[in-house]
Structure 1
Amino acid sequence: MKKIALFFLAATVSLGALAAPETYAIDGSHTFPRFEYSHFGYSTQVSRFDKTSGTIVLDRAARTGSVNVTIDTTSVNTGFPLFNEHIQGEDFLDTKKFPTITFKSTKLNFAGDKPGSVDGDLTIKGVSKPVRLEVTSFHCMPHPLLKKDACGANAVAKIKRSEFNAGKHAPYVGDEVTLTIAVEAVKQ
């Protein structure tokens, strides 16, 4: 009887260890938030931010976790230096007053055994709004070069830039912006 009790105790401890939350640091060299908008109806412009940091915490057994992302707004990359300066100006990102954009999750929503969406607060120019990021892909595995566990995902949301005090030239320059975040993170 003692052996059976010890077996169940050991199994319970082992299962508890498997259910522990895991923390991942965002890999800034493989994480690039992008934004897309209509430019006078002529084309869809796509730009990105080159500097992103943060953490992702996952407890896949409990289907919970958190996401905290910080984007350096001075790293905006439109592909054209003069336009980078324009986007950083007061009418749009106002990077002198607001050098970061943040996303802080309030809830991870799982679809089966993987995150399907992330609810949270997006803060741009000091204005916070609830946003749902739809996770379009999610994959975890041992990183072949770093020899550590890593996870990657793509997430998408649509926002209106006018709701964040960045609506200059709307509606000619599209008010609706599609945010796409390609993220990779390494287990700590």
Structure 2
Amino acid sequence: MFPSIMRFSLATALTVGMSAAVAAPVTYELDPSHSFAGFSYPHIGLSTQQQRFNGAKGTIVLDTDAKTGSVDVTVDTTSITTGHDGFDKHIQGPEFLDTAAHPTATFKSSKVIFEGDKPVAAEGDLTIKGVTKPVTLKLTSFASKEHPMAKKPAIGANATAVIKRSEFNASKFVPAVSDDVTLVLVVEAIAP
């Protein structure tokens, strides 16, 4: 009888120990006051223009033990701010973002790539103007810590990718205005 109680206790201890060692995925909600998307592009050989969308929302799920995750971000393309109202309307027009027909752009990852304990990229699908293409967002920075004000787990990251705007039906003025556009995603996200 003693050996069977011992086996049961050992099996229970191992099961409890193993479940404690396996961390569950954590879902983080984007903080809209510290998350945004932007883009830059060479303009007629004179400068590199940088523009920003003010509206970004979504979730990031990370399981650092399993080294898996997902990213789901929606950007309000009508929230573009170039610093000039007339140019905002121009970029929102049908030849570029066509925000009347497509008021959002999305990135939905199929895979988060880790190096060691840190995510370094997210592979997924980018949809702009109803066109979906595979894109890899490369993280240029990543941090994970307790949020000092919210007192909850939080993450932050900056990510970039280069796309061809002609692949998303936005090729007006190519090649005078570069076809290559660098996308930027800046996020801070907090666990509920």
Alignment of structure 1 residues 13-52 onto 2, 5 Å: 13-16=19-22, 19-52=23-56
Q: Deviations over 1:75-124 (max 9, x none)?
A: 00111111101100001000000000000001111111111111000000
Return the TM-score normalized by structure 1: 0.96
Q: In structure 1, which of residues 122, 129, 134 is the aligned counterpart of residue 133 of structure 2?
A: 129
Matches of 2:129 and 2:106, distance apart in 1: 10
Deviation at 1:136, TM superposition (A): 1.0
1:7 aligned partner: 13
2:88 aligned partner: 84
Q: Which 4+ stretches in 1 moved above 6 angstroms? A: none
Return the TM-score normalized by structure 2: 0.94
Q: Which amino acid aligns with 1:13?
A: S
2:58 aligned partner: 54
Deviation at 1:30, TM superposition (A): 0.4
1:115 aligned partner: 119
CA RMSD of aligned residues (A): 1.0
2:174 aligned partner: 170
| DSSP-derived class of the 2:20 partner | helix
Is the aligned partner of 1:94 residue 2:94?
A: no
* Greater Rg over alpha carbons, structure: 2
Matches of 1:44 and 1:155, distance apart in 2: 18
Matches of 2:137 and 2:160, distance apart in 1: 5
Where structure 2 has 5 or more consecutive residues not aligned to the other structure, the ranges are 1-5
| DSSP-derived class of the 1:185 partner | strand
Where structure 1 has 5 or more consecutive residues not aligned to the other structure, the ranges are none
Deviation at 1:3, TM superposition (A): 4.3
